[in-house]
Amino acid sequence: MLTLLNRYLIALLVALFSLAGCKQQATNERETKAETTHTHNEEPADIVELTDDQIRIGGIRLGKIDYRNLSQQLTVNGRLAVPAQSQVNVSALLGGFIRTIPLLPGQPVTKGQVLARIENPDLIQLQQDYAETYSRLTFLETEFARQKELSEQNVSALKVFQQTSADLKATRARLAGMAHRMRLVGLSTQAALDGKFSSMYVLTAPVAGVVTSLSTTAGQYVQPSDVIAQLTSSHGLYAELTVFEKDLPQLREGQRVVIRLTNENGRERYGRIKHINQSIDADRSVRVVAQLDQPAAHLTPNTFLKASLDLGDSRVTALPEGAIVSAEGKDYIFVVTNEQAPKHHEHEEKSEANHQPDEAEQHGTSFKQIQVRRGVTEGGYSQITLPSTIDLATTKVVTNGAYAVLSQLQAAGGHEEGHAH
C-alpha cells in the first residue's frame, strides 16, 4: 500500500515540473520575440542590401574616391549697367512750348531722330537780328576797304579807319554767335537771309537708345533746365558685380567671368573683370565692373544676373556626377559596408518553417547612404566634402547607378513603414 502511494506522489511531481517547464518556455519565447522586435526597430534605415542581379540590372559600378584638379569658382550677384555717357537727359536748348512729342516709354530711337517740336516766338527776333547783322557786315566790309585805301593815301584820318576796323570785327563776332545759336536749334541761316523766318525748332536724339521716361506733355512750356525725356543707350553695356570684402583677395583684373541673366533661362555669356572699385559699401561689398565679350543691343540695363568667377584649379576629392544623388535638398553617396540591412522579420517567421537552404542563394552587397556636400562641377566630376570617418584608401563607393541604389533604399524604407503601421 505504501509503495503504491509513493508511485502516485512521484507521478504528481513529474506532472508539476513539466507544466512549469512549458510556462517558462513560453515566457522565454515571448522575451526572445520582444528582443528581436526591439533589435529590428533599432536597425539602421540608411543601409540597403542588393543582390548581384540587382547590381547588374541597375548598372551599378564601384570605384574609389579620387583627387582631381577642378577649377574653383566664386558665385556672386549683380546687374547689367551702362556708363553715364549712355544715359542721356534730353532738355530744350531754348525755352518754348512743346507742340508735338511723338514718344512712348520703351520706344527705340535712332541718333538724330526728332523727339519733339518746340515753338519759341523769340526765334523770329533771332533770325531777324541775324539778317540785319549780315547786312551791316556787308556794309562794314565795303567801308573798311574804302577807309583803308584813304588811309594809305593820307586822305582820311587814321582814327576813322581804326573805328571802321573795330566795328567790322565786332559785327563779324556777333553774326557768328547768332549763326551758331540758329544751327543749335536746326534753323537755316540762308532761310533767314531770304526772309523765311520760323518760330519752331526740333529737338533730336543725341544718341541711339530707348526712351526710358517722359517728363512733359504737349502744350507744356519748358525751360532749358527742364528734362523732357530720358534715353538709355546699350553702348558700353557692362556687368556690375557685387563682391563681398572677404572675397576681394581672390579677384584680379582680366579674370574670367561666366554670366547668366535671370531672363535668359540659364544661357551663359562670358566676360572679364575690367575694374575693381576701391570703395567698400556699408554692407561690406565692393562693385566690380566686368566687360562682356559680346554685348547685344537687346540687353536691358538693370537686368539681374548671377556670375561665376574662375579662381583657378585646386586638387580636391571628387566623384562622377552619377555617383551623387539628391534627396530632400541634401546630397548623398553610397559606400560598401559590412553592416547588415534591415530584415523583414514577419515574412521570415511565416516562411521559416517552409524555408529550405539553397546552395545558389545570393547574400548580396550592403550599401550605406552617406551625406556629403557638393562643390564645383567640371568635366562630369563634382567636388565633394566627406565626413572625417571615411577612409579614402579602403572605402569602395558607387560611382555609377547611385539613383538605382537610392530607389531600392526608399522602397525598403516604405515597405517597413507599412509593417510598422
* Mean pLDDT score of the chain: 81
Per the CB < 8 A criterion, the answer to whether 372 and 324 are in contact is: yes
**pLDDT (mean) for 252-274:** 89
pLDDT of residue 414: 60
- Helix, strand or coil for residue 314? strand
Selection from 130-139, 159-168, 348-357 with the highest mean pLDDT: 130-139
Per the CB < 8 A criterion, the answer to whether 77 and 305 are in contact is: yes
CA distances 379 to 61, 306, 318, Å, are: 19, 21, 11
Per the CB < 8 A criterion, the answer to whether 367 and 337 are in contact is: yes
From 29-43, 113-127, 245-259, 337-351, the region with the lowest mean pLDDT: 29-43
pLDDT of residue 242: 93
Predicted TM-score (pTM) of the model is 0.53
Q: Which three cell numbers stand for residue 99?
A: 507742340
Is pLDDT of 51 > 70? yes
Per the CB < 8 A criterion, the answer to whether 392 and 89 are in contact is: no
Selection from 73-77, 141-145, 170-174 with the highest mean pLDDT: 170-174
Q: Which three cell numbers stand for residue 368?
A: 550605406
pLDDT of residue 380: 85
What does the pLDDT look like over 386-408, one tens digit per residue?
Answer: 888 888 888 899 989 889 889 88
Beta-ladder partners of 370: 333
- Helix, strand or coil for residue 396? coil
Q: Distance between CA atoms of 242 and 75, rounded to whole angstroms? A: 10
Q: Distance between CA atoms of 202 and 186, rounded to whole angstroms? A: 7
Q: Distance between CA atoms of 276 and 288, rounded to whole angstroms? A: 5
CA distances 298 to 108, 206, 295, Å, are: 10, 19, 9
What does the pLDDT look like over 277-320, one tens digit per residue?
Answer: 989 899 999 999 999 988 887 788 889 999 988 777 778 888 99
Q: What is the 3-state secondary structure (H, E, C) of 325-355?
A: EEECCEEEEEEEECCCCCCCHHHHHHHHCCC
Is pLDDT of 37 > 60? no
Higher pLDDT, 420 or 377: 377
Q: Distance between CA atoms of 80 and 360, rounded to whole angstroms? A: 67
Q: Distance between CA atoms of 388 and 372, rounded to whole angstroms? A: 11
pLDDT of residue 211: 92
pLDDT of residue 144: 85
Q: Distance between CA atoms of 243 and 76, rounded to whole angstroms? A: 6
Q: Distance between CA atoms of 70 and 103, rounded to whole angstroms? A: 53
pLDDT of residue 9: 43
Q: Distance between CA atoms of 406 and 312, rounded to whole angstroms? A: 34
Is pLDDT of 189 > 70? yes
Q: Starting from the edge strand earliest in sequence, which strands make up the sheet with 87-91, in order?
A: 87-91, 227-232, 209-214, 108-109
Confidence label for 31 from pLDDT (cuts 50, 70 and 90): low
pLDDT of residue 415: 46
Would you mind telling me the total number of residues written for the chain in this entry?
421
Is pLDDT of 40 > 50? no
What is the percent of the chain where pLDDT is above 90? Answer: 28
Buried b (16+ CB within 10 A) or exposed e, 336-370: ebeeebbeebeeeeeeeeeeeeeeeeeeebbbbbb
pLDDT of residue 288: 94
DSSP assignments along 21-47, one per residue: HHHHHHHHHHHHHHHHHHHHHHS-SSE
Q: What is the DSSP letter of 246?
A: G
From 154-158, 191-195, 400-404, the region with the lowest mean pLDDT: 154-158
Residue tagged 588811309 (cell numbers): 151
Is pLDDT of 99 > 90? yes
Q: Distance between CA atoms of 222 and 203, rounded to whole angstroms? A: 12
